[in-house]
Amino acid sequence: MKKRKFLLFTALMLVLSMVLAACGGGDSKEEGGGEGKSEEKPKYMSILTGGTGGTYFPLGGSFAKIVSDATGVSTNAETTGASAENMQSIKDNKGEIAFTQTDIASYATEGKLMFDGNKIENIKAIGTLYPETIQIVTTEKSGIKSVEDLKGKKVSIGAPGSGTAANAEQILEVYGLSLDDIEKQDLSFDESVNGIKDGNIDAAFVTAGTPTAAVEELSATEKVVIVPVEADKAEELIEKYPYYAKEVVPSGTYKLGSEVPTVAVLAMLVVKADLSEDLVYDITKSIFENLDQVTHAKAKQIKPENALNGVGIEVHAGAQKYYDEKGIKAAE
């Protein structure tokens, strides 16, 4: 009898422990794209940016300080190969916040192009920031004046893992060219500029906010030429790839005598989906309400009221909470 009571008591305790374990499981992080599952703040966060010659890195440095001060979480900006690499790094848990292009974020979440068979499901948007201008950079002495002139030339299309390569391929496409028509080089912005300076390459695609540090550096010693993307070709590109928009490189930028027509995508910030709603709210609020602390010229184009325009992927609940409080909605 005593043995039977003991066995019954043991069985009840086992059932109770299983129930408690199941109830407690909701606080653990989920695999994949579960949002806001971790209520604990991480001790450290990385903002994945791009190369030192682009716009992401200096902005990321300013954002890291702002976020650290606001959240108490030690946050650092890291140099990377930019957009596509950053998406993969988020998937691989190598960073918590990342800069990317809107088109690349869409490819990642849909498993298209460079993410074919490698869908990224654990990213959510904080919001868009500013136009990422596609600049086809060369010098006057190269003799290159049009996209057609790139045929047969040594042309950098950006670092491996960057979003610039997709932009280059799509722009060449609307001009009836392909990557096979150029001597393709896979170089970072800094490497591209040095290659142009040294005469090792003829031109480079640079997708970044203007002015771009690496191109400004080039303009100090060379007469920079930005190859135009004419209006009819821009319209053809936008019709096929709607995430593009018409843009210009303003007169005076890189000592240009007149503005140059081109196209742009948007820069955006994304986060790991499982960061808590409260933390992402604090990150979003701190960045958009402390832009006066950002010295880079691009900060003037970053406005919270535009942050939901062109996002293209799901917005994190913490960021959405901030926009809802401010009455911010995506443009119709």
DSSP for residue 315 = B
Weakest mean pLDDT among 20-24, 200-204, 283-287: 20-24
Do the Cβ atoms of 160 and 83 come closer than 8 Å? no
List pLDDT tens digits, range 219-254: 999 999 999 999 999 999 988 887 888 899 999 999
Percentage of the chain exceeding pLDDT 90: 73
List pLDDT tens digits, range 36-91: 655 678 999 999 999 888 889 999 999 999 999 999 999 999 999 889 999 999 99
Instruction: Provide the whole-model pTM.
Output: 0.73
Q: List Cα–Cα distances, 104 to 86, 137, 265, 266, in angstroms.
A: 10, 22, 10, 10
Cα-Cα-Cα-Cα dihedral of 28, 30, 33, 37, to 10°? Answer: -20
Tokens of 165: 């390569």
- Residue 9 — very low, low, confident or very high, per pLDDT cuts 50/70/90? very low
pLDDT at 2 over 60: no
What does the mean pLDDT of the chain come to?
88
- Residue 331 — very low, low, confident or very high, per pLDDT cuts 50/70/90? confident
Paired sense of beta strands 154-156 and 260-272, if any: unpaired
List pLDDT tens digits, range 25-35: 333 333 344 66
pLDDT of res. 144: 98
Do the Cβ atoms of 87 and 104 come closer than 8 Å? yes
pLDDT of res. 5: 46
Domain range annotation of the chain? 44-129+267-326, 132-265
Architecture category of domain 132-265 in CATH: 3-Layer(aba) Sandwich (3.40)
Architecture category of domain 44-129+267-326 in CATH: 3-Layer(aba) Sandwich (3.40)
List pLDDT tens digits, range 110-142: 999 889 999 999 999 999 999 889 999 999 999
> Which residues on neighbouring strands pair with residue 74, listed in sequence order?
44
Backbone angles phi and psi of 265, in degrees to 5: -110, -170
44-129+267-326 and 132-265: identical CATH topology: yes
User: Among candidates 172, 331, 170, which has minimal Cα distance to 265?
Assistant: 170
